Chain A
């Protein structure tokens, strides 16, 4: 099982890293999440999910503030992750807090769509 500090991605145009804060995880994304980032995200998010369950996390913050763009393939990775949280027993569910940057205009609609997909699990902050 991974420790949070082992969960990272560093590509030319995209990076992600995870740190633990008590019983929360913070997933920070930056750069450009396009096709080049898809496989890495598909590997990373299930590991974040596993780590969140391992530490009985109450919340995972996902920091989008430095993410320039996310394509629909990467967006789907988040949809799958959120769906898997929703499939957990209620006692094992954790919340996701999405941190957004109002200057990245795409985030308003994309993160709103994610929130509406699982309104009990997701909150959005800017």
Chain B
């Protein structure tokens, strides 16, 4: 069944990419107790993994803050994944570029296919992480930049279970 109470999970993360998969597995277990739809849990896990990797790779001081919130509503519930880290100017610019592209492509899957074609020829990095979160994770994405702090918010809605 789906929980009817708000639930939150927060983690301050030091750079260790090996731990990201452990966090993904933990979150999957955590949310499988609250959300009955395994596909939704899988989308949340994928998005969290990609956002964490992105943040850990580019955190300039090594610290990443992760927050995952589940907010139940009458008709639908919202899952919010928020990642915050400090980053160097070139990485902040790269994030801004990706979000700029997203704003130009209303169709997340179409944008994903374009990014894949470009990624195929890249020698460094994939350029796919955030685009994949939006397309495969079916997340609404936004970001804010304050000085050297980058915050990325990914949200998705989960249909509430009918009562009675």
Residues of A within 8 A of B (CB): 13, 32, 34-36, 69, 71-73, 75-76, 79-80, 82-83, 104-106, 108-110, 113, 116-117
Contact = CB atoms under 8 A, between A and B. Distances in A.
B38 A113 contact: no
B132 interface: yes
Contacts, number: 78
Contact of A116 (B18, B49, B50, B113): B113
Nearest to A73: B126
**Could you tell me the dominant secondary structure of chain B's interface residues?**
helix
Interface of B: 17-18, 20-21, 24, 38-39, 41-43, 45-46, 49-50, 53, 109, 112-113, 116-117, 119-122, 125-126, 128-129, 132, 135-136
Contacts of A72: 50, 53, 126, 128-129, 132
A83 B120 CA distance: 6
Contacts of A116: 109, 113
Nearest to B46: A106
A105 B49 contact: no
